Amino acid sequence: MSSPDNKCGSCTQCCKIMAVSELHKPKSTLCEHCNVGIGCRIYQDRPTACQSFRCLWLQTQDHFPPLPLNLRPDKSKVVLHASADEKSIIAKVDPKYPNAWKEKGIGLMLGTLAEKCFVLVDNGHQYWLLRNGQAKQAKMSVADAEGNENFLGYIDE
């Protein structure tokens, strides 16, 4: 189960959305160790990737002002995290709610972030690159062994 110092509350969205190579878990599939709304059944022995992952919502909970509850991934249906090079934001959307990233609260936040850096949206069906008020459909590579994908270009070009 989750730890008493768990600040995720009942959110287990990353357990569904994120790929975990150590568990051979592909993205957008619920982890077999997830007790939805409660936490990880192997919390004390969870893989390194899970131990080190902290979504942007969770990271802000230690700062003032923290992101509000309506932007928590289980509420917004979007898990936000930094890219591997920490130069972009990745928005992984629950495929059951492919347009959730366009909804009022999270949509406004993504628009604000896109003024400062690239934001890649992965809704489980399509990829979008947001930058300076524009959303362009993106083409991504097949995921490598670690679940990383690379930008290959825009669909319209």
Considering the entire predicted model, what is its pTM?
0.90
Six token digits for residue 58: 């969770």
Q: Of the candidates 118, 112, 120, 113, which has an alpha carbon nearest to the alpha carbon of residue 140?
A: 120
CA 109 vs CA 37, 63, 93, 149: distances in Å: 24, 17, 14, 23
SS3 state at 114? coil
pLDDT in tens, the chain (157 residues): 444 456 888 999 999 999 999 999 999 999 999 999 999 999 999 999 999 999 999 999 989 999 999 999 999 999 999 988 899 999 999 999 999 999 999 999 999 999 999 999 999 889 999 998 899 999 999 887 777 788 899 997 5
Q: What is d(CA 47, CA 21) in angstroms, rounded to the nearest whole number?
A: 9
